[in-house]
Structure 1
Amino acid sequence: MPLRTSRALGLVLGAALDAAFGDPRRGHPVAGFGRAARSLEGRLWADSRRRGAVFTGIAVGVPVVLAAALERRATNPVVRTVLTAAATWAVLGARSLAVEGRVMAALLADAEGDGDLGPARERLSHLAGRDPAGLDAAGLSRASVESLAENTSDAVVAPLLWGAVAGVPGLVGYRAVNTLDAMVGHRSLRYERFGWASARLDDVANFLPARVSAALAALAGRRPSASLVAWRRDAGQHPSPNAGPVEAAFAGALGLRLGGANVYAGRVEDRGYLGDGRPPARPDLERAVRLSVAVDALAVLLAGGVAWVLGRRR
């Protein structure tokens, strides 16, 4: 096996491992990175963009340098393939995302029988960061569909594309950036300045992958023209420059209307509507999961193809 094909094969094998086994239950590398980053934050935190930029540079730079050193030493094609597959498996979240979507659908189905939304509200934190206390079944359904759309890009398409272009350092670096954004990139008194660099870096890292994800959603869905129209017309109404295109494309593909007012830690964020259809209901979660899985499959093929072409050119 030539070394130039090891990246493409490793990406495909890693995606297959994620599809078969999902995230490791213990000792997950991303969780370990999160603990290390939290410790570093405790040493560097200050209400300062400059200190936040230093934090982001160290927290992303160190794993990338280590990953690059490992990949450079892996001169045997089989070893390089195994390393790429392991890194891909560690950073992808396709199976876990689909499982969470189906679990939420099951909990909402149970609530239709007994009227108890408590378990579904508690479970929402596995998918979305918004406050579930005031959400009814329709609100929980919308939050879940929107999160499935956004995380299809963040947890699957983006890491695969970065892996295709930059190999193991790209996989590791992207996951570090995305994890830091989840940790410190949100707006709050503590992170308004300190988390600014992490949030902006995540915006840059996801700019192209989010638009590729939107295009794949249009291709994978049954309403490609409606998906493209919603993406072009409505994406700008979303406060996130990258979540907007993906959620709008999913809304059009599923024939739904997403968006509206969300509550995050007591802060109300009123965004425009995405798509022309009806608001999501519980059965739409299964449809959203199927669309997400279809986008995942296309992303694996695309990333493998890009890696193979780039490998031949190298």
Structure 2
Amino acid sequence: MTVLALAVALDLVVGDPPNRWHPVAWIGRLVALGRRLAPRSPDDLAIHGSFLILIVAGTAAGGALVAHALLASLPGIAAPLAQAWLLKCSLSLRGLLGAVEVVRGHLVADDLEGARRAVGYHLVSRETADLDRGAVASAAVESLAENLTDGFVTPVVFYVVGALVGGVGAGLALAWAYRAVNTADAMIGYRRDELEYLGRATARADDLLNYLPARLAAAALVAGAWLARRSAAGAARAWRRDGGRTESPNAGQTMAAMAGALGVSLEKAGHYRLGEGPPPDPEAIDVAMQVERWAAALCLAMALLALAVRP
């Protein structure tokens, strides 16, 4: 319980270390190495991709266990603080909110080019050069909602499950195994070129691991909308109606709930349109961040409660 609370506090107050010292960057290098070593034939690519994700996730989990064993020997408060820092590096709530705020700031300043660059660099993989203001704002809100799951709720869920079963070390191992899968999915989990085969196992693993947390996150956004004095009913209605309209079985859950909470439509041209109403504007982005904070706080409270009442 202490480690999780400290980890979230560190994430909100300190933020992320430089890439040189960030475990996620190390995972990314391992995935990139695996991609460079990949064979060419589709069947071999699929097999290589399956082994790659097992190796990457296993390495991350094993590294977390070793780090926990070493850090547990530190004296006094240093041990839980160091363990909290390790868990904190699997979270990205502050970084996510900060990236969205940068986009909002550009839009408020009528700097559309800056907003396009910021949303493309920090938040989405789609082409942003021709997006209008509404589409840029939509992309920012979509990423904010989707990454509540990837960047916060799912690693917290896996930490809690592991901690309840096997203590802090097991919690760290599961959180980092998930973070490894999610990082690999962001790099190779696409349906294009050789990645159609190389990233297939990774994409399916990521979908599976996020399935329940995405729905927990969407429910938290409905409650967060109520706490932020927005439309919880609209969030629930849009979630129920539009949550399954994206190619991913998980991304649409939180995006639809957020769209309904704000009373806007979130659209990726040619792929999906979630919610009803106009596209979001800078004010809607600000409200979305309020709803997101409430939702994250609720998820954290539930996680801490689960850890507090364990036998």
TM-score (norm 2): 0.88
Contact persistence 1:257–1:278 (CA under 8 A): yes
Partner of 1:87: 86
SS in 1 for 2:197: coil
Q: Which residue of 2 aligns with 1:30?
A: 24
Quote how far apart the aligned CAs of 1:259 are. 2.6
Q: Which residue of 1 aligns with 2:222?
A: 218
Task: Quote how far apart the aligned CAs of 1:25 are.
Answer: 2.8
**Which residue of structure 2 lines up, in the alignment, with residue 4 of structure 1?**
none
Q: CA deviation at 1:231?
A: 0.8
Whichever residue aligns with residue 204 of structure 2, its letter is R
Q: Match of 2:271, SS?
A: strand
In the alignment, structure 1 residue 187 sits paired with structure 2 residue 181 = no
In the TM superposition, residue 160 of structure 1 has moved relative to its aligned partner by 1.0
What amino acid maps onto 1:258 in structure 2?
A: L
C-alpha displacement of 1:67: 2.0
Q: Distance between the aligned counterparts of 1:199 and 1:308, measured in 2?
A: 34
Give the match for residue 5 of structure 2.
Answer: 12
1:70-81 map, 5 Å:
70-71=67-68, 74=72, 81=80
CA distance in 2, matches of 1:148, 1:225: 20
- Per-residue CA shift, 1:90-122, capped at 9, x if unaligned? 1111111111111111111222xxxx5221111
- Inter-CA distance 213–14: structure 2 relative to 1 (3 Å threshold): same
Instruction: Report the counterpart of residue 42 of structure 1 in structure 2.
Output: 36
User: 2:203 — aligned with what?
Assistant: 199
1:205-244 equivalences under 5 Å are: 205-221=209-225, 222-244=230-252
Higher relative contact order (CA 8 A, sep 6+): 1
Residue number in structure 2 paired with 1:251: 259
Distance 1:223 1:119 in 2: 31
Distance in structure 1 (CA, Å) of the matches to 2:35 and 2:46? 13
Alignment counterpart, residue 170 of structure 1, candidates 152, 174, 181:
174
User: Which stretch of structure 1 is more off in the superposition, 165-174 or 45-54?
Assistant: 45-54
Please give the root-mean-square deviation of Cα atoms over the aligned residues, in Å. 1.9
More displaced, 287-296 or 13-22?
A: 287-296
Tell me which amino acid in the other structure corresponds to 1:23: D
Runs of at least 4 residues off by over 4 Å: 75-80
* 3-state SS, counterpart of residue 283 of structure 1: helix
SS of the counterpart of 1:135? Answer: coil
**Cα distance in structure 1, aligned partners of 2:25 and 2:63:** 17
- Cα deviation, residue 281, structure 1: 1.6
Q: Which runs of 5+ in 1 are unaligned?
A: 1-7, 262-268
Equivalent residue for 1:120, pick from 98, 115, 119: 115
Report deviation, 1:217. 0.2
Which digits, 9 at most, give the CA deviation of each residue in 1:102-159, with x for residues without a partner? Answer: 1111111222xxxx52211111120111100110111101111111100111101111
Name the residue aligned to 1:277: 277
**Cross-structure match for 2:61:** 64
Structure 2: how far apart are the matches of 1:38 and 1:121? 27
Q: Aligned AA for 2:4?
A: L
Give the Cα separation in 2 of the matches to 1:287 and 1:253: 9
* Cα distance in 1 between the residues matched to 2:239 and 2:73: 43
Q: How far apart, in 2, do the equivalents of 1:278 and 1:289 lie?
A: 18
Bigger drift between 35-44 and 169-178 goes to 35-44
Supply the AA of the counterpart residue of 1:123: A
1:136 and 2:132 correspond: yes
Q: Is the 8 A contact 2:49 2:198 kept in 1?
A: yes
**TM-aligned CA deviation for residue 83 of structure 1:** 4.5
Q: Which residue of 1 aligns with 2:109?
A: 110
Give 1:180's aligned amino acid.
A
Shift of 1:84: 3.5
Return the TM-score normalized by structure 1. 0.87
Q: Secondary structure at the match of 1:60?
A: helix
Partners of 2:116 and 2:246 in 1: CA distance: 24
- Indicate conservation of the 8 Å contact 2:116/2:128, yes or no: yes
Unaligned runs of 5+ in 2: 163-170
8 Å contact kept, 1:138–1:282: no
CA offset digits 1:39-98 (Å, max 9, x no partner): 232223443211110111111112212323444674889576334312221111111111
